[in-house]
Amino acid sequence: MKVKQQHFGSINNNCYLITDETTGKSALVDCTEASDKMYDFIGNADLEYILLTHGHFDHILGARDVKEKYGAKVVVSASDEPMLSSGKLSLASFMDAVQNNVKSDIVVSDGDVINLGSLEIKVIATPGHTKGSVCYLVENALFSGDTLFYMSCGRTDFPSGSSDEMLASLKRLKNLGGDYTVYTGHDNITNLDFERKNNPYMKLL
């Protein structure tokens, strides 16, 4: 598996391109914008999926046009699916951002597995930042969206957020067996062992 990372948008979102080296199939984790920068980032990848960690505007606004350009399937959780067609729910309307409504192709729940060539991508439900936030676990990589950050975690004061659910989700990630590279939705990439030992929120658990 190869993972490419790039920053996008005004609040420095991380988007990731996962590629199965056996088949060349790729998936984009979150899609902040549909821009020349995004298209250069994706390049000539055989893009099969756009995996959304949650439905906030800064993670979804490029999904419609990238889907149309590459023929990729949009993947989102059931709870956050309504955000894909509502600027109010996605918070786009509060940030003067244009909501590019997009239809989901695959609606996932906790424990679902998405096959990307020879790779298996496991869906882990991690509510807290939003009700439908998910992480994607593949090989030694955890794509954590806005759930787990370097030395921090996602905000819980937005609609459908919950501090109690966030702590439960962080505990679930903390209890995963083994170590993983944590590809976060913003800021620095980290690893799970480091966060277990040093993240002030995980140390509470």
**Residue 43 near residue 6 (C-beta atoms within 8 A):** no
Integer Cα distance of 47 and 193 in angstroms: 31
Q: Kindly report the average pLDDT of the chain as a whole number.
A: 97
Nearest residue to 57 via CA among 94, 105, 4: 94
Residue 178's pLDDT is: 94
Integer Cα distance of 64 and 52 in angstroms: 12
Residue 63's pLDDT is: 98
How confident is the model over 104-137, as pLDDT tens digits? 999 999 999 999 999 999 999 999 999 999 999 9
Sequence-ordered list of residues with C-beta below 8 angstroms from that of 167, at least 6 positions apart, any chain = 128, 201, 204, 205
Q: Is 43 left (phi over 0), alpha (psi -120 to 50) or beta?
A: left
What does the longest C-alpha to C-alpha distance in the chain come to? Answer: 45
Provide the percentage of residues in the chain whose pLDDT is more than 90.
99
How confident is the model over 32-58, as pLDDT tens digits? 999 999 999 999 999 999 999 999 999
Integer Cα distance of 46 and 7 in angstroms: 21
Q: What is the mean pLDDT of residues 19-41?
A: 98
Residue 40's pLDDT is: 98
What domains can you pick out in the chain, each with its CATH number? 2-204 (3.60.15.10)
Cα torsion at 184, 190, 196, 202 (round to 10°)?
Answer: -40
CA 153 vs CA 35, 101, 120, 180: distances in Å: 28, 28, 26, 17
Residue 177's pLDDT band, with cuts at 50, 70 and 90, is very high
Provide the percentage of residues in the chain whose pLDDT is more than 70.
100
**Residue 16 near residue 32 (C-beta atoms within 8 A):** no
Integer Cα distance of 146 and 154 in angstroms: 5
Integer Cα distance of 39 and 43 in angstroms: 6
CA 76 vs CA 56, 82, 114, 144, 167: distances in Å: 11, 10, 12, 14, 22
Residue 138's pLDDT band, with cuts at 50, 70 and 90, is very high
Residue 86's pLDDT band, with cuts at 50, 70 and 90, is very high
Residue 191's pLDDT band, with cuts at 50, 70 and 90, is very high
